[in-house]
Amino acid sequence: MNAAEVQNLCKTYPAFRLKEVSFSLEGGKITGFIGRNGAGKTTTIKAMLNLIHTDSGDITYFGLPLSGHEKEIKQRIGYSTGTVSWYPRKTIREIVDVTKTFYSGWDGEAYRKYMELFGLDETKKPIELSEGMKVKFNLMLALSHRAEILILDEPTSGLDPFSRDELLEVFRTLKEHGVTILFSTHITSDLERCADNIIYISRGEIRAACSKEEFLREHGKPEETLEEIFLRLEREARL
Partner 1 sequence: MNALLRKEMRLSALLLTYLFLGFAVMTLLPGYPILCGVFFITLGIFQSFQSAREANDIVFSALLPVAKRDVVKGKYQFVLLIELCGFAIMAVLTIIRMTVLADAPVYRQNALMTANPFFLGMALLLFGLFNTIFLGGFFKTAYKLGKPFVTYIIVTFAVIGAAEALHHFPGLEALNAFGFDHFGLQLALLAAGALCFIALTVLSYKKACENFERIDL
Q: List residues near partner 1 by CB under 8 A.
A: 46, 49-53, 70-72, 74-75, 79, 84-90, 94-95, 97-99, 101-103
What separation in angstroms does the CA of 194 have from each of 54, 147, 198, 217?
31, 19, 11, 17
Minimum CB distance to partner 1, residue 84 (Å): 6
- For residues 11-39, b (16+ Cβ closer than 10 Å) or e, as one string? beeeeebbeebebbbeebbbbbbbbbeeb
Output 94 or 166, the one with its CB closest to partner 1. 94
We find the least distance from the C-beta atom of residue 130 to partner 1, in angstroms, to be 18
Q: What φ, ψ does residue 183 adopt, rounded to 5°? A: -125, 100
In the complex, minimum distance from the CB of residue 128 to partner 1, in angstroms, rounded to a whole number: 14
User: Which backbone phi and psi does 203 adopt, to 5 degrees?
Assistant: 50, 45
With vertex at residue 24, the alpha carbon angle to CA 219 and CA 9, rounded to the nearest 5 degrees, is: 95
Nearer to partner 1, 24 or 85 (CB): 85
**CB closer to partner 1 out of 95 and 210:** 95
CB closer to partner 1 out of 84 and 237: 84
In angstroms, give the least distance from the CB of 12 to partner 1.
11
DSSP state of 101: G
